[in-house]
Amino acid sequence: MKRKIIKFSIISLLIFMFVIFYKSLNKSNFYEPKSSIKDIPKFLAKSFYSKEEVDSKKIFNQDKFYLLNIWASWCLPCRDEHFILVNLNKNEKLEIIGLNYKDNVDNAKKFLNELGDPYQTILLDQDGTKAIEWGAFGVPETFLIYKNKIIKKFIGPLNQKSYEEINQIIK
């Protein structure tokens, strides 16, 4: 009798574990975080080239489209998306701001010398706090801004689809 109870318990436990694992197979592993930030954050950051402190209020003008791109030279997807930023830089209605994330400045300068510099302004985020204030979860992330509001957030590297979407919005 005792053996039958143990056997039944083990079989029940195995069936229970199988059902749990089977149900979890149907769930998506892709996690896309949602950000509730709509207004652009106000912050102070050092300029990439001059190392002078810059107030974000002086960068973002009300009646212009901006693209804030959070990037780093050590980030391979940043390298992949860079040609999209270079092409977007040709659009006169858009100003691209770079936020260099937890990077070695010399490596970042080599990155820009090699691939081109699409940024009108580059700010430093040595400890990652500026990116957190923007609601970023990693690099690269890009924010399309108009009238000091985030109108679109792109998680991950920009691609041809996001390039067309940005151009369509700023038309």
| Domain span including residue 160 | 44-170
Strands 141-146 and 65-71: antiparallel
Distance CA 122, CA 117 (A): 10
For residue 68, give the nearest of 170, 152, 163, 126 by alpha carbon.
152
pLDDT, tens digit, 9 for 90 and up, residues 34-65: 555 688 898 899 999 999 999 988 888 778 89
3-class SS shares of the chain: helix, strand, coil, % to 5: 40, 25, 35
Residue 123 inside a domain? The answer is yes
Three-state SS annotation for 8-43: HHHHHHHHHHHHHHHHHHCCCCCCCCCCCCCECCCC
pLDDT, tens digit, 9 for 90 and up, residues 107-166: 999 999 999 999 999 999 999 999 999 989 889 999 999 998 999 999 999 999 999 999
CATH of the domain at 66: 3.40.30.10
Task: Tell me the pLDDT band of 95, cut-offs 50, 70 and 90.
Answer: very high
pLDDT, tens digit, 9 for 90 and up, residues 7-24: 888 888 888 888 887 877
Distance CA 69, CA 100 (A): 8
Number of domains in the chain: 1
Three-state SS annotation for 149-162: EEEEEEECCCCHHH
Residue 132 inside a domain? The answer is yes
